[in-house]
Copies of this chain bind each other. A is one copy, B any other.
Amino acid sequence: MPPVVADYLQQNRDRFLDELKALLRIPSVSADPAYQPAMQQAAEFVRDQFQQMGLKTEIVPTAGHPIVYAEWLGKPGAPTVLVYGHYDVQPPDPLDLWTTPPFEPTIRDGKIYARGATDDKGQFFTHLKAAEAWLKTTGVLPVNLKFVIEGEEEVGGANLDKFLADWKQKLKCDVAVISDTSQYAPGVPAITYGLRGIIACEIALTGPKRDLHSGIFGGSVTNPVNALCRLIAQLHDEHGRVKIPGFYDDVLPLTDVERKQFDVLPFDEEAYRQELGVAAVSGEAGFSTLERRWARPTCDVNGITGGYQGVGPKTIVPSKASAKITCRLVPNQDPPKITAALEQFLRDRCPPGVTLQFTDFHGCRAFVFDTNSPYIAAAKAAVRDGFGAEPVLIREGGSIPVVLALKQVLGVETLLLGWGLNTDNLHSPDEHFTVADFQRGIVSSAALWSRLTAQ
């Protein structure tokens, strides 16, 4: 990368951070309709950023939250790179567990704290600033760039898929880049070559038409909370294996090479245990912690509710109970097949006296990247440029549905370049992003644009 670009990055560090803070102040929570105006505000903020650096840009309406698109196509013959990011964030609750308010970005100990700091505002923003540096200093970019910054990643909105399909020709590119994953550890940057898929649903059981006095009626009706617990309890056996029929049928086992790669990664299980604050790690028998997180499917309740929620006792048999459930999937599990199997499993076991309502939220397949792709080499070099360390090749337990869509619709592979850390409390209170990683990410991105031209 030319020294003038590097100098620009160095000189504008404080401004970049101020601009990120401004973006983090916008409470763009996609899951909750109450935050609708903030979603529009965040989209406009991102569009204005593109406009200021001289990209052709527009806000594309969808049936849900809008998508911000921008492009610079000034280098005919050079590769075209599509950068994806999302400006929406997870709900901030429980609010009382935040040290400082989730939408008032605060820097403590070299970290910026805010909902979205690392997932994904702080991460995708690096690519905007890298492009800006090239354009403001050299007037050109080494590659053609297309940006797609969406607003429904945290709710698995189907509108991005429609956008990708509708814009298929306009979005044509050679490779995609996404920064929405993590480094392997502080000082150990990583390129993520595998992701888990997901299905998400809500199950609701309704028993008596109103809450009943547990003395007068208790014992003569099916209690929907007890029944829901019985259903959920049956999802696993005593070895932590999921009991849904067919759940593991299509699971692609890890290769010996992969297990060995996982085994040699520095991983301090005791430190991990302490970081999470649990008495013991646990999970499916027969697998290591990294295997459980990266390459084995799960079935977790994300939330449960039913009956009295207040202080003290209340002697009722509740009328309703409900739970939100996600299954993390691995290659080659099929989301609709697993969702159908889960629903059938629950319906088959639903006891008399309660009715079951099943809501399918969304799903996406797992993903494994071709590690022999020539783009991997360019990315490795760029990460080295920014972080001063050789990146490791890892998998990740989360899901990025767009990676699948980009492959299926546009036929391109995605470079998953994570600048954050998985201890950044994403989806949790006190989400944060190390300011130095934000800056290293910008340098890596600026380097990537030139490294890719060598492919």
Interface residues of A (CB under 8 A from B): 31-33, 90-91, 93-94, 97, 155-156, 182, 196, 198, 200, 202, 207-223, 225-226, 228-230, 232-236, 272, 276-284, 289, 292-293, 296-318, 321, 323-324, 326, 328, 351-355, 361-362, 396-399, 422, 425-430
Contact = CB atoms under 8 A, between A and B. Distances in A.
Contact of A214 (B210, B272, B300): B300
7 contacts: A31-B311, A219-B293, A220-B292, A225-B232, A301-B318, A304-B304, A313-B324
Given A302-B307, A302-B316, A315-B200, A210 B361 contact: no
A348 to B, nearest CB: 14
Contact of A397 (B202, B218, B430): B218
B300 A317 contact: yes
Question: Which interface residue of A94, A220, A221, A426 has the most chain B CB atoms within 10 A?
Answer: A220
B326 A219 contact: no
B310 A93 contact: yes
Contacts of A309: 303, 305
A304 B225 contact: yes
Nearest to A230: B233
Contact of A217 (B198, B211, B317, B397): B397
Contacts of A303: 225, 306-309, 314, 316, 318
Nearest to A234: B233
A296 B218 CA distance: 10
Contacts of A429: 210-211
A351 B300 CA distance: 15
A272 to B, nearest CB: 8
A323 B225 contact: yes
A290 to B, nearest CB: 8
Contacts of A213: 397-398, 422, 426-428
Contacts of A314: 31, 90-91, 302-303, 324, 427
Contacts of A182: 216
A192 to B, nearest CB: 11
A211 B428 contact: yes
Contacts of A218: 293, 298, 300, 326, 328, 397
B226 A326 contact: no
Contacts of A280: 222, 352-353
A306 B300 CA distance: 12
Nearest to A30: B312
Contact of A301 (B226, B272, B422): B226
Nearest first, the 4 closest Cβ-Cβ pairs linking A and B are A209-B277, A215-B398, A233-B233, A303-B307
Given A219-B283, A233-B234, A328-B219, A207 B304 contact: no
Nearest to A195: B215
A455 B318 CA distance: 44
A272 B216 CA distance: 12
A153 to B, nearest CB: 11
A428 B362 CA distance: 35
Nearest to A269: B220
A367 B188 CA distance: 68
A39 to B, nearest CB: 13
Contact of A229 (B207, B233, B293): B233
